[in-house]
Amino acid sequence: MKIIEVKENKKQYLVKNIATVPEYQGKGYARALIEFIVNDTLS
């Protein structure tokens, strides 16, 4: 199962689903992942 797919030009991401294991929720991991994707796409 792919959760994040990087397109050929490496500046397009398809985020299909994000889930965080309960004991890691609230620690900013999903937010950091989304911020990385947005920043990488815009740079």
pLDDT of 11 reads 72
pLDDT of 1 reads 55
pLDDT of 22 reads 95
pLDDT tens, the chain, 43 aa long: 566 676 766 677 778 888 899 999 999 999 998 898 888 877 7
pLDDT of 2 reads 60
Looking at the 3D structure of the chain, how many domains does it have?
Answer: 1
pLDDT of 15 reads 80
| Dihedral sign (CA 15, 19, 25, 26) | positive
User: Strand 4-6 and strand 13-15: pairing?
Assistant: antiparallel
Question: Which residue segment(s) compose the domain that 27 sits in?
Answer: 4-42
As a 3-state breakdown, the chain gives helix, strand, coil percent values, each rounded to 5, of 40, 15, 45
